[in-house]
């Protein structure tokens, strides 16, 4: 007989699971392998950037004072005494009315305080010496990239827990990090349970469907920064599911199952939690979809029983597993980022539980508009492919009208939020 389950609030679930979160350890990886990883250490500048005053143009380094009066009617001639490219240093020092030919990126020679672009001067040769004819003046400091203008030595540039993007890889390379401390990726095992399930390569048979949740969950785990172990399928068999879970739980930081958590005859997960002597933290959450999301703890490890219904499974992962994974990766903003948007269409359906509607964001002039996408049923999959956010509609007895301001949780954002 199905037992009554008391729904609990999302915040309470977070509080309960947060007690079992584990801070992730660090590991060292080569710089090329850091993309998408999370920094395990703060990154502090160890030099000024640029390291020296340098030329941003191919041109001539000169003294601004010498060309102060230069105009097209008053051409000033400077003698060119040297030529340097990036990586070269001039040993010469300019005297009045002298210049040094300089290429982009080369260190500005001592005594020079401005750079004139090549295209703006005429070069001539007189008595075997090269001169430039200058037709315009420059201010002191004009056309120079100054030492430290980008980054000052000693500045804290990036905090541990930030996701590495290509720009961060450029910083790491600049400061000589051939090896980088990153957070170890939490390992999350995924089992799909259900006798109706087939593998992707299997031919369809009457009453059967292909397992899509495992692939979706592994993708969600990887999008969150974790490492997924795809354990495959288990039919609805108490013994098989129990033994598979018992074995796998040793190999992972968190174990996720989909299916079999509701009250059906073949929904064995509740009995399996008992058999595992698991501490069930929740088995009904005041949310839609995903109300059957179950979380249990076995010897300090979390076991998530997500719904078999694909959309409920997806939402359960995003609300509870994503923040846990991000937290283990050292993120100070482990939750999905929440923004305000304008509801683009009426949503009359009422529900006592908070609803998370797969939706899409649009810009309309300067306004951010959110519209539900696809069918709002927990068994559907198409909306998952198209959604870039979850529209949050608080539970209650009234529907929602177009034009109302609503909260939206971003699915693809990488910065995150401090809470829901
Ligand atoms: N009498 C009641 N029935 C149901 C209740 C309830 O409260 N009382 N809750 C409903 C809600 S809400 C949900 S959500 C589902 C949860 O079901 P389970 O978590 O037990 O999942 P299953 O029964 O195993 O499967 C549900 C559905 O999802 C399909 N499925 C399962 N696994 C996969 C997979 N890996 N890939 C794709 N699709 C999958 C499965 O074939 C079913 O159609 O229970 C409601 N019932
Ligand atoms: O637990 Mo269900 O997800 O509301 O369809
Ligand atoms: Mg079921």
User: How far apart, in whole angstroms, are the C-alpha atoms of residue 148 and residue 269?
Assistant: 60
Task: Give yes or no for residue 311 CB within 6 A of ligand 2.
Answer: no
In whole angstroms, how far apart are CA 282 and each of 188, 269, 418? 20, 13, 23
pLDDT tens profile 154-171 = 999 999 999 999 999 999
Q: Dihedrals φ, ψ of 341, to 5°?
A: -145, 170
Instruction: Using most ligand atoms within 8 A of CB, pick from 308, 351, 380 the residue to mutate for ligand 1.
Output: 308
Q: Per DSSP, what are the bridge partners of residue 129?
A: 126
Triad 262, 14, 341: Cα angle to 5°: 95
Task: Give yes or no for residue 312 CB within 6 A of ligand 1.
Answer: yes
Whole-number Å distance, alpha carbon 307 to ligand 1 midpoint, is 6
Whole-number Å distance, alpha carbon 163 to ligand 1 midpoint, is 34
pLDDT classification of 4: cutoffs 50, 70, 90: confident
Instruction: Using most ligand atoms within 8 A of CB, pick from 288, 304, 306, 316 the residue to mutate for ligand 2.
Output: 288
Average pLDDT taken over every residue of the chain: 96
Instruction: Using most ligand atoms within 8 A of CB, pick from 3, 289, 309 the residue to mutate for ligand 1.
Output: 309
Task: Give yes or no for residue 308 CB within 6 A of ligand 1.
Answer: yes
Task: Give yes or no for residue 39 CB within 6 A of ligand 1.
Answer: no
Q: What percent of the chain has pLDDT over 90?
A: 97
User: How far apart, in whole angstroms, are the C-alpha atoms of residue 317 and residue 374?
Assistant: 20
User: How far apart, in whole angstroms, are the C-alpha atoms of residue 152 and residue 139?
Assistant: 24
DSSP 263-303: SSTT--HHHHHHHTT-EEEES-BSEES-TT-EEEEETTEEE
Task: Give yes or no for residue 264 CB within 6 A of ligand 1.
Answer: yes
DSSP 9-49: -HHHHHHHHHTT--PPPEEEEEGGG-TT-BBSS-EE--S-B
**Token pair listed for 141:** 């400091």
Task: Give yes or no for residue 316 CB within 6 A of ligand 1.
Answer: no
Domains defined for the chain, CATH in brackets: 10-25+184-328 (3.40.980.10), 29-50+149-183 (3.90.105.10), 59-134 (2.170.190.11), 338-410 (2.40.340.10)
pLDDT tens profile 80-92 = 999 999 999 999 9
Task: Give yes or no for residue 262 CB within 6 A of ligand 2.
Answer: no
For 242-246, what is the mean pLDDT? 96
Q: What percent of the chain has pLDDT over 70?
A: 99
Closest ligand to residue 306's CA? 1
* pLDDT at residue 30 is higher than 90: yes
* pLDDT at residue 287 is higher than 50: yes
Residue 54 DSSP label: B
Task: Give yes or no for residue 84 CB within 6 A of ligand 2.
Answer: no
> According to the model, what pLDDT value does residue 23 have?
82
Residues 23 and 328 sit within 8 Å (Cβ to Cβ):
yes
pLDDT tens profile 220-240 = 999 999 999 999 999 999 999
> According to the model, what pLDDT value does residue 24 have?
83
For 64-68, what is the mean pLDDT? 98
pLDDT classification of 3: cutoffs 50, 70, 90: low
> According to the model, what pLDDT value does residue 84 have?
98
User: ipTM of this complex > 0.90?
Assistant: yes
**Token pair listed for 340:** 């305000």
Whole-number Å distance, alpha carbon 308 to ligand 1 midpoint, is 4
* pLDDT at residue 1 is higher than 50: no
Sheet holding 121-126, edge to edge: 114-117, 59-62, 98-102, 76-84, 129-134, 121-126
pLDDT tens profile 193-214 = 999 999 999 999 999 999 999 9
Positive or negative, the Cα torsion across 76, 77, 79, 84?
A: positive
Residues 261 and 306 sit within 8 Å (Cβ to Cβ):
yes
| Residue 247 CA from chain centroid, whole number | 32
Closest ligand to residue 311's CA? 2
* pLDDT at residue 110 is higher than 70: yes
* pLDDT at residue 2 is higher than 60: no
């Amino acid at each position: 007989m199905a037992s009554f389950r008391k729904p609990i609030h999302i915040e309470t679930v977070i509080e309960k699971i947060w007690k079992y979160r584990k801070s992730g350890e660090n590991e060292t990886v080569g710089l090329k392998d850091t993309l998408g990883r999370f920094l395990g250490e703060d990154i502090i500048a160890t030099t000024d950037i640029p390291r020296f005053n340098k030329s941003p143009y191919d041109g001539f380094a000169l003294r601004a004072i010498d060309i102060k009066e230069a105009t097209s009617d008053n051409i000033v001639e400077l003698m060119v005494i040297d030529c340097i490219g990036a990586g070269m240093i001039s040993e010469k020092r300019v005297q009045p009315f002298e210049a040094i030919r300089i290429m982009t990126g080369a260190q500005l020679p001592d005594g020079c305080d401005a750079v004139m672009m090549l295209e703006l001067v005429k070069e001539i040769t007189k008595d075997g010496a090269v001169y430039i004819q200058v037709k315009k003046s420059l201010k002191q400091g004009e056309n120079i990239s100054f030492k430290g203008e980008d980054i000052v030595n000693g500045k804290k540039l990036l905090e541990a827990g930030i996701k590495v993007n290509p720009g961060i890889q450029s910083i790491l390379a600049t400061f000589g990090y051939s090896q980088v401390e990153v957070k170890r990726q939490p390992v999350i095992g995924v089992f799909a349970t259900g006798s109706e399930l087939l593998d992707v390569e299997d031919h369809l048979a009457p009453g059967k469907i292909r397992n899509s949740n495992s692939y979706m969950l592994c993708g969600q785990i990887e999008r969150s920064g974790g490492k997924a172990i795809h354990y495959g399928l288990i039919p609805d068999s108490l013994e098989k599911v129990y033994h598979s879970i018992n074995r796998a739980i040793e190999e992972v930081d968190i174990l996720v199952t989909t299916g079999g958590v509701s009250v059906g005859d073949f929904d064995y997960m509740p009995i399996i939690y008992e058999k595992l002597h698991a501490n069930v933290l929740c088995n009904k959450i005041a949310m839609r979809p995903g109300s059957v999301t179950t979380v249990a703890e076995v010897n300090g490890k979390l076991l998530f029983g997500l719904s078999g219904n694909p959309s409920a499974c997806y939402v359960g992962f995003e609300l509870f597993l994503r923040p846990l994974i991000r937290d283990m990766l050292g993120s100070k903003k482990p939750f999905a980022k929440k923004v305000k948007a304008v509801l683009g269409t009426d949503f009359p359906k009422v529900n006592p539980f908070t609803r998370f509607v797969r939706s899409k964001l649009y810009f309309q002039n300067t306004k951010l508009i959110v519209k539900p996408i696809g069918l709002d049923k927990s068994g559907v999959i198409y909306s998952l492919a198209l959604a870039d956010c979850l529209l949050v509609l608080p539970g209650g007895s009234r529907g929602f009208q177009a034009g109302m301001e609503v909260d939206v949780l971003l699915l693809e954002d990488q910065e995150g939020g401090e809470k829901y």
